[in-house]
C-alpha cells in the first residue's frame, strides 16, 4: 500500500490563527481588547514571535512523520503570508518532506496558487482505489453531505472547520485539519482504520451510512 498522508489548514505565517484557534503557541497576556471591543495582539512583536514558533512546530511535526518519498495531500489553507505570498508558500513547500499535492482552500489566494514545489494542484480530487475495498477517497477543503460512491464506502476528507464542525454521525467523513490531530498529518492507514470501525459501529446500530440521495434508494 502506498505511504499516503493527509492534512489541512496549516496556515503558515498566519499569526491570527493562533488567536482564533488557541494553538499551543498562544499564551495568556498575548492579547488585549481594543477600543472597538475586539481581541487583538498586545504587540506586533509578540504576534511575530508566536507565528515563528508555530511555523517551526508544524514543520517539525510534519517531518518527524513524513519521509521524502511519501505522498502527501494538503486540503487547503496552506500559507497566509501578508506579503511575498508566492515566495513564502514555496519556502514552506521546500521545507516539508514528501511529494506534496495541494487541494486549494478559501485562503489559498491567486498569488499563493502560483507557487512551485507541488506535484499537483486542484480544487477537488478523487484519490482512487486506496479506500475501503478499493473505494475512492474524496478530497475537498469543505465538508460534503454527498459524494461519489458514498454508498460503496467511499470516504470524504475535509478541512476548513478547525474541529468546530460536529462530525457527521452517519457518514464516512472527517476533518483532517491539523487542529484536530495534534498539529500533525494523519496516515492513510489511520484514516481507513477509523472509518472501518465507524462503518461497523453504524452497521451494528442499523444506521444507514450509504445515504438516501442517489435515485432515492439507499445503496444504488
Domain that holds residue 15: 4-29+39-204
Instruction: Kindly state the average pLDDT of the residues 36-63.
Output: 97
Q: What is the pTM (predicted TM-score) of this model?
A: 0.94
**pLDDT over threshold 90, residue 214:** no
User: Which position has the grid cell 487542529?
Assistant: 179
- 149: domain CATH number? 3.60.21.10
- Domain-located, residue 216: no
Query: What sections of 42-181 are H helices per DSSP?
Result: 44-65, 85-95, 110-113
pLDDT at 205 over 80: yes
Q: What are phi and psi of 98, to 5 degrees?
A: 90, 170
List the strands of the sheet with 186-187, edge to edge.
120-122, 99-103, 71-74, 4-7, 186-187
Residue 198 resides in a domain: yes
Quickly tell me which residue has 496552506 as its cell: 78
Pull the grid cell for residue 209: 451510512
Give the pLDDT band (50/70/90) at residue 211.
confident
For residues 47 and 114, the answer to whether their CB atoms sit within 8 Å is no
Domains in the chain, number: 1
DSSP state of 186: E
Average of pLDDT values for 54-74?
Answer: 98
Q: Running DSSP on this structure, what letter comes out for residue 8?
A: B
Give per-residue pLDDT as tens, 134-187. Answer: 999 999 999 999 999 999 999 999 999 999 999 999 999 999 999 999 999 999
156 within a domain of the structure (yes/no): yes
Cα dihedral sign, 58-62-64-68: negative
Instruction: Report the pLDDT averaged over residues 85-96.
Output: 97
pLDDT over 80 at 216, yes or no: no
Instruction: List the grid coordinates of 52.
Output: 515563528
Is 34 within the bounds of a domain?
no
Q: CA 33, 18, 54, 144: dihedral to nearest 10 degrees?
A: -170
**pLDDT tier at 19 (50, 70, 90 boundaries)?**
very high
- The strand pairing partners of 101, in sequence order, are 73, 120
Report residue 6: phi and psi, to 5°.
Answer: -130, 145
Band of pLDDT at residue 132, cut at 50, 70 and 90: very high
Report how far residue 122's alpha carbon sits from residue 26's, in angstroms, rounded to the nearest whole number.
32
In a domain, 175, yes or no: yes
Domain assignment of residue 113, yes or no: yes
Neighbours of 74 (CB within 10 A): 30
| DSSP symbol at 97 | -
Q: Burial-class residue 95 by CB neighbours within 10 Å (0-12, 13-18, 19+).
A: middle
Q: Is residue 211 part of a domain?
A: no
The reply to whether 129 falls in a domain is yes
Amino acid at each position: 500500500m502506498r505511504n499516503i498522508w493527509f492534512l489541512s489548514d496549516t496556515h503558515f505565517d498566519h499569526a491570527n490563527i493562533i488567536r482564533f484557534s488557541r494553538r499551543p503557541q498562544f499564551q495568556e497576556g498575548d492579547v488585549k481588547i481594543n477600543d472597538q471591543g475586539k481581541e487583538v495582539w498586545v504587540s506586533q512583536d509578540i504576534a511575530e514571535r508566536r507565528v515563528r514558533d508555530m511555523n517551526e512546530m508544524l514543520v517539525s511535526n510534519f517531518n518527524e512523520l513524513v519521509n521524502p518519498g511519501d505522498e502527501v495531500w494538503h486540503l487547503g489553507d496552506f500559507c497566509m503570508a501578508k506579503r511575498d505570498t508566492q515566495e513564502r508558500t514555496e519556502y514552506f513547500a521546500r521545507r516539508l518532506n514528501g511529494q506534496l499535492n495541494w487541494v486549494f482552500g478559501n485562503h489559498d489566494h491567486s498569488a499563493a496558487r502560483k507557487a512551485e514545489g507541488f506535484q499537483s494542484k486542484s480544487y477537488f480530487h478523487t484519490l482512487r482505489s486506496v479506500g475501503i475495498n478499493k473505494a475512492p477517497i474524496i478530497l475537498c477543503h469543505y465538508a460534503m453531505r454527498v459524494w461519489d460512491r458514498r454508498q460503496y464506502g467511499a470516504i470524504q476528507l475535509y478541512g476548513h472547520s478547525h474541529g468546530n464542525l460536529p462530525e457527521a454521525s452517519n457518514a464516512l467523513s472527517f476533518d483532517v485539519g491539523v487542529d484536530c490531530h495534534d498539529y500533525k498529518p494523519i496516515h492513510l492507514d489511520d484514516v481507513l482504520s477509523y472509518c472501518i470501525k465507524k462503518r461497523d459501529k453504524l452497521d451494528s446500530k442499523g444506521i444507514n451510512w450509504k445515504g438516501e440521495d442517489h435515485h432515492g434508494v439507499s445503496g444504488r
